[in-house]
Structure 1
Amino acid sequence: MANCMLNFRAAGSCWLLAAALCLLLAGGCSTRQGKGPEVSAPSFMLPEDESAAPLTQTELAALRSTGQIDRNVPADAMPDVARQYKYFLRKGRNTMSVFSKRSEQYLAYARKVFRSRGMPDELAYLAIVESGYKADAKSQAGAAGAWQFMPYTGMKYGLDQDWWMDERLDPYKATEAAADYLQKLYGDFGDWPTAIAAYNAGEGKMSRAKQGTGGRDFFEVRARNHKLDDKARLREETKQYVPRFLAVTKIMRNLPQLGFDSIEPDKAPGMLRFTARPGTDLMAFSSACRLGWEEFRVYNQHHKRPVTSTERATFVYVPARCEREATAFLRSPQANAYADWRPAKVTTSADSWDRISRRCNVPVARLKAANPGTGRLRAGEMVLVPRSVNMSATAVAALDGKKSGSAREMPQGKNKRLKSGDRRTPERVTAASGIGHKLQPDETLYAVARKYNVSLRDLQDCNQIDNPNKVRAGCILRIPDGKATAAPASGGSSGRVGKAGRKTTYTVQAKDSLWNIARKHIVSVDDLKRWNQVDEKSLRAGTTLVVDLD
């Protein structure tokens, strides 16, 4: 470490320098000292054999390089940094090569996130230590994603996990959450090595270890760890976690010099973040972008279903080359074809796709397309079905026992209001005035209301309908006079999401950032900046921001 590893302020620590250099050169000195403590680490990081070839002058120079985080590493911590460093240069070289290449897609964005908050951009390398930047990485302990968030911590920092998605697997949103968490840890502990150790061990564990040892930072706590009882001690994994991060950071700063392939994050294929409306058909989206489904899934592993959540807008990613096709599709009426669908529980194993199809007038093929991999239905499982369908066991039994009969046409001028349970259905109602709409087999009243930008209640009142579940395909619906307007087109790329329509305002709070404000409203930071002519530095508590919701 140039001017850090060799710059000891206390003259009495010269023996530490000699010991560190002895280890680095991996000569006879290392054999006399014996092997260091075994490193408890993930399977891809085994203890380095200290008898391996000594470091070259180029390798030593890279090891001595420093950045913001590794500028003041104590000399007695350097042997472990060197051990991790040598591992990735020797035995783990192929692993380091794969990880560095995989990180190329994400580093530019991660660095931008950290820089925008005044944090060291070297923190972007932490995801290499966590997962090798594997977006769908999962641990036996339950951590997931490139940044390995546990479920509770992920939810705490804005990564939703439900039937629809697991946003821990969104490498871009997870990077923003990791920045939030690391910023919080830095505020708690006051220095980056300790914050990084807490990211691995947990803030509670690190706080107790710090209090129990009286150490001011991670390195002092590590040196005094033996004074704690077994339960309070930092695990060997955590003790090696910071040295491992520092070693990876030094290698990433010097890839070509160390013989690794160069990476150019700023030239990596661009990705665009789009805000998709509730119920967006992802298979149709991928097809519109001329992407195979498997390729599309690689970019969007946080989505568990071929349809986006029908409860809220969500993020979807496609290569920048698909911007025109993606924007056109998301603005089209067919984009959110499943907006009026919902996840529902199968109440009886006697139910089937055919029975559901007959209850909601939706073809079996479409039901199965929305539920890929779901064969015979079993009681208790969740399926995606139209919002209007009755999934109760009673409805299933009633369908089997229902006698066939022809539906009666309601006489003109005698539109008696339909009560819940009334067997008469308005197969055809002529629109006496205003706009008329013929209900299609795959439509519900909810979808029609959205189409004409009217409320469901107004639509029901205008057509004397008490129970929307009883309305059948083919009937002509009157659209309330003076209330129908064309539904606004929405959808556009984020990073610069092109949105226009309903607007709201938001008052900036003391600890707000543009990132968390954007997350709250499911919009992009770039759009917030564009709408309000504001940036992170000029953001002030009390400022009122305009947010475009459509």
Structure 2
Amino acid sequence: MNFKALLILALILCTSACGHLKNQSTSSDDLATDQLPKSGASATEDIAGTAPDAPLIPTLKPDVESDIKVDDINIPATPVEPADLDVISRIRNGFSFPELNTTDVNKHEKWASSHHTYLKNLFAKAEPFLFFIVEEIERRKLPMELALLPAVESAFDPGAVSRSRAAGLWQFVPNTGRGFGLRQDWWYDGRHDPYSSTFAALDYLEQLHKMFDGDWFIALAAYNAGPGTLRREIRKAKRKGLKTDYVSLKLRTETRRYIPKLVALKHIIQYPEKYNVTLPKIANKPYFEVIELPGQIDLVEFAKQSNVDRQLLRHLNRGFKRWATAPEGPHRLLIPLNADRSVDYARLAVKNTRQVNYRNHKIKNGDTLSGIARIYGVSVAGLRSANQLSNNRIRAGRNLMIPIRGSSAPSTHLAKNSKVTHRVSAGDTLWSISRQYKVKLDQLMNWNGLRSGDVLSLNQMLTVFLK
């Protein structure tokens, strides 16, 4: 090949290489653009599931708790990375109870493993709380079997209530709940709060474990039947020279079946292939984040402004019994992490949600909605809206939520007044009663929700405010 041909060949190769490099550079730029994170929705956009007019919980009459079915709540799963150890594997690796093989255990193993829908639903309900529970059990160095206890107690439903008035994930009865710091009032029930009740339940279980000399089966039986019951049965067995282990003690049927249910579930998780069961993968990540609140807030308004499904928000924060957080706290909310930018939206919503102050008013004989509104300096319409009332009828013994702006006390002017109840007797008229108490006729009518021309009834109760 002559020199001229070599020169032409070199030029061709050089041009080809340069074109290849140029195309490669363009592809890299395109790839970088594709991998840029997409910006989230604007905070002013309408967010699916937070329709402005939709209430956070079903419409309630005063003093009636909502009853949200867990099956109706869309609990989105958190994706599991292939390299992650899932939560169920963590539970399996932390088992440390002694073996228990009884007829009851075998019966529950057979039932649970043959009802795949039961297991599927159980773990779906457990997912929002399981990582949090596992973390706390691990921190305390307790057996991982305890993470499965809510499955036996409540099927992981924080709204569950039993016939014996036990409530929440861990099924505390009222007195035991109060004994472990779970406040129960008109606004809030800590037994239904999955966050507070988990700490309380593990405190109680640790106490029982120590009380019964480190025997977890006896401690769990005491959790179900009460420590007093177990102590009595142990004393009876000792007097008769009998064994005092869990299997040997004479216990009521419910308690005898209680621990086998837990152990059966443990065995299925431990050896799923033996029972022909496929267990779900639950991400080894927090499901929710705790965000602090500045004080009492309106949950309906918060739901409208945050990118959080209102039913899921209610489910995670089941301790709040009304559509506002409790005046005395806890001043926090559990916000799911699996929704796109949900925590960012929630923090923004906390800043934008008007802080409120609600007072609880117990209705007495003779009270009227207009009279109560006047005491607290609020409108009748505001009272009806706050309590979801369709009319002005109220009933003695019930409670009303009073929306207060700035102070939780009645208005200063009316707080100085003395409230009396007047029973209508023969010959009474609105005019004569107003003269008797030296109040204006229109005030008397307003306090009692009366209109011009209304006829008084014998023994009717009227409210009068005296200076």
* The two structures share one fold, judged by TM-score above 0.5: yes
Q: Which entry has the higher C-alpha Rg, 1 or 2? A: 2
**Counterpart of 2:222 in 1: which secondary structure?**
helix
Against the structure 1 CA distance between its residues 324 and 243, is the aligned structure 2 distance closer, same or farther, given a 3 Å change threshold? same
* Shift, 1:273, TM fit: 1.9
Question: How far apart, CA to CA, are the structure 1 residues paired with 2:317 and 2:199?
Answer: 16
Q: Which residue matches 1:367?
A: 383
Q: Which residue matches 1:100?
A: 123
Q: Which amino acid aligns with 1:71?
A: P
**Counterpart of 1:343 in 2: which secondary structure?**
strand
Q: 1:394 aligns with which of 396, 414, 420?
A: 420
In the superposition, the TM-score normalised over structure 1's length comes to 0.53
> Is residue 133 of structure 2 the alignment partner of residue 110 of structure 1?
yes
Deviates more, 1:318-327 or 1:299-308: 318-327
Q: Which residue matches 1:335?
A: 354
Q: Which residue matches 1:157?
A: 180
* Shift, 1:292, TM fit: 5.2
Q: Which residue matches 1:120?
A: 143
Aligned 8 A contact 1:69 1:193 in 2: no
Q: Which amino acid aligns with 1:241?
A: Y
Q: Which residue matches 2:11?
A: none
Question: How far apart, CA to CA, are the structure 1 residues paired with 2:243 and 2:265?
Answer: 18
Question: How far apart, CA to CA, are the structure 2 residues paired with 1:279 and 1:355?
Answer: 25
What do the CA deviations read for 1:187-225 (whole angstroms, capped 9, x no partner)?
A: 11112111111111111111221222139xx98444544
**Counterpart of 1:214 in 2: which secondary structure?**
helix
Aligned 8 A contact 2:125 2:156 in 1: yes
Aligned 8 A contact 1:251 1:258 in 2: yes
Aligned 8 A contact 1:256 1:262 in 2: no
Against the structure 1 CA distance between its residues 372 and 99, is the aligned structure 2 distance closer, same or farther, given a 3 Å change threshold? same
**Counterpart of 1:166 in 2: which secondary structure?**
coil
* Shift, 1:270, TM fit: 2.4
Q: Which residue matches 2:344?
A: 324
Against the structure 1 CA distance between its residues 265 and 105, is the aligned structure 2 distance closer, same or farther, given a 3 Å change threshold? farther
Q: Which runs of 5+ in 1 are unaligned?
A: 1-64, 226-232, 406-468, 471-550
Aligned 8 A contact 1:81 1:244 in 2: yes
- Using CA pairs below 8 Å that are at least 6 residues apart, which structure has the higher relative contact order? 2
Q: Which residue matches 2:104?
A: 80
**Equivalent residues in 2 for 1:237-386, closer than 5 Å:** 237-255=254-272, 258-266=275-283, 270-291=287-308, 293-320=310-337, 321-332=341-352, 334-338=353-357, 341-352=358-369, 354-373=370-389, 375=391, 376-385=393-402, 386=404
* Shift, 1:248, TM fit: 0.9
Question: How many residues end up aligned between the 2 structures?
Answer: 326
Against the structure 1 CA distance between its residues 141 and 404, is the aligned structure 2 distance closer, same or farther, given a 3 Å change threshold? closer
* Shift, 1:343, TM fit: 0.8
* Shift, 1:239, TM fit: 1.7
Q: Which runs of 5+ in 2 are unaligned?
A: 1-91, 423-432, 444-464
Question: How far apart, CA to CA, are the structure 2 residues paired with 1:259 and 1:344?
Answer: 57
> Is residue 223 of structure 2 the alignment partner of residue 199 of structure 1?
yes
Aligned 8 A contact 1:69 1:122 in 2: yes
What do the CA deviations read for 1:41-86 (whole angstroms, capped 9, x no partner)?
A: xxxxxxxxxxxxxxxxxxxxxxxx996443344xxx4333222211
Q: Which residue matches 1:5?
A: none
Q: Which residue matches 2:35?
A: none
Against the structure 1 CA distance between its residues 208 and 306, is the aligned structure 2 distance closer, same or farther, given a 3 Å change threshold? same
**Counterpart of 1:304 in 2: which secondary structure?**
coil
* Shift, 1:269, TM fit: 7.3
* Shift, 1:111, TM fit: 0.8
**Counterpart of 2:191 in 1: which secondary structure?**
helix
Aligned 8 A contact 1:277 1:313 in 2: no
Q: Which amino acid aligns with 1:134?
A: D
Q: Which amino acid aligns with 1:394?
A: V
Aligned 8 A contact 1:105 1:268 in 2: no
Question: How far apart, CA to CA, are the structure 2 residues paired with 1:85 and 1:159?
Answer: 34
Against the structure 1 CA distance between its residues 96 and 337, is the aligned structure 2 distance closer, same or farther, given a 3 Å change threshold? same
Aligned 8 A contact 1:100 1:252 in 2: no
* Shift, 1:249, TM fit: 1.1
**Equivalent residues in 2 for 1:408-447, closer than 5 Å:** none
RMSD of aligned residue pairs (Cα, Å)? 3.3
* Shift, 1:247, TM fit: 0.8
Aligned 8 A contact 1:214 1:221 in 2: no
Q: Which amino acid aligns with 2:97?
A: D
* Shift, 1:395, TM fit: 8.8
Q: 1:71 aligns with which of 94, 98, 122?
A: 98
What do the CA deviations read for 1:460-519 (whole angstroms, capped 9, x no partner)?
A: xxxxxxxxx99xxxxxxxxxxxxxxxxxxxxxxxxxxxxxxxxxxxxxxxxxxxxxxxxx
What do the CA deviations read for 1:108-155 (whole angstroms, capped 9, x no partner)?
A: 111111111111122100111111111111111110111111111111
* Shift, 1:163, TM fit: 0.8
Q: Which residue matches 1:176?
A: 199
Aligned 8 A contact 2:157 2:168 in 1: yes
Question: How far apart, CA to CA, are the structure 1 residues paired with 2:381 and 2:313?
Answer: 22
Against the structure 1 CA distance between its residues 359 and 130, is the aligned structure 2 distance closer, same or farther, given a 3 Å change threshold? closer
Aligned 8 A contact 1:277 1:312 in 2: no
Question: How far apart, CA to CA, are the structure 2 residues paired with 1:404 and 1:208?
Answer: 68
Question: How far apart, CA to CA, are the structure 2 residues paired with 1:255 and 1:268?
Answer: 23
Question: How far apart, CA to CA, are the structure 2 residues paired with 1:400 and 1:359?
Answer: 18
Question: How far apart, CA to CA, are the structure 2 residues paired with 1:247 and 1:268?
Answer: 26
**Counterpart of 1:316 in 2: which secondary structure?**
strand
Q: Which amino acid aligns with 1:287?
A: K
Question: How far apart, CA to CA, are the structure 1 residues paired with 2:136 and 2:390?
Answer: 39
**Counterpart of 1:167 in 2: which secondary structure?**
coil
Question: How far apart, CA to CA, are the structure 2 residues paired with 1:326 and 1:160?
Answer: 26
Question: How far apart, CA to CA, are the structure 2 residues paired with 1:191 and 1:110?
Answer: 21
* Shift, 1:261, TM fit: 4.3
Question: How far apart, CA to CA, are the structure 2 residues paired with 1:197 and 1:170?
Answer: 24
**Counterpart of 1:384 in 2: which secondary structure?**
strand
Q: Which residue matches 2:44?
A: none
In the superposition, the TM-score normalised over structure 2's length comes to 0.62
Identity %: 29
Q: Which amino acid aligns with 2:355?
A: N
Aligned 8 A contact 1:275 1:313 in 2: no
**Equivalent residues in 2 for 1:461-480, closer than 5 Å:** none
